[in-house]
Each structure stands twice: as structure tokens, then as C-alpha cells.
Amino acid sequence: MLLDEATSALDAESERSVQEALDRACSGKTTIVVAHRLSTIRNAHVIAVIDDGKVSEQGSHSHLLKNYPDGCYARMIQLQRFTHSQVIGMTSGSTSSARTREDEERDS
């Protein structure tokens, strides 16, 4: 199965629902997922980072963060966390109390 930006235009709640359905549909099948939204690929068995037309990093989410701490994937994770934190901070009126969506999901 090939999924190309399957959740890119969805809000967080809809993305979660669609992702759960896709996880069930893809169970036991080889699936290639093209995504810029990292929450879509975080649980993939293998993540291949394509940079300048070549695979620059490859592994699981934890492997990429551990073995490529300054790599493209780690930078994208930090950028998305920072961007999301800014949005939460702006809506709450204070960036000092900003939390990432991952922090909120982990605590709930």
C-alpha cells in the first residue's frame, strides 16, 4: 500500500482517527508512507529520510534520534515541536507555558 500525505490536510483529532484506521488497514502489509507531518510516521518500523534525492538516514524513530542527533530527522522533529509550541503559547497568551502536542498526549 502507498500512502502519500494521507493526513496532511486534517486537524489533529481527525488525523488521529484516520491514522488509527490506516494502522488497522495496513496491519500485516508492507506500506510506504510519504509524509512531512512526523506524527504520521513516528511508529513506522523503518523511516527513510530522503535529502537531496538520496537516503541520508534510515531506522526507527528512536534509532534516528539516538544515532543522528544533529540529522535531518532530528531537526524536523525539533522544528515541528518548536512551531507547535509557539502556536500553543500564542493561544494561551504565554510562550513560557507552551507544551507540545506530544507532551499533552503523553500526560493524558
Lowest mean pLDDT among 22-31, 37-46, 74-83, 91-100: 91-100
Strands (E), 1-108: 2-4, 32-34, 47-51, 54-59
Tell me the average pLDDT across 91-101.
Answer: 47
Strand, coil or helix: 60: coil
Domain ranges of the chain: 1-44, 61-108
Strands (E), 11-91: 32-34, 47-51, 54-59
pLDDT of 1 strictly over 60 = yes
**pLDDT, position 88:** 53
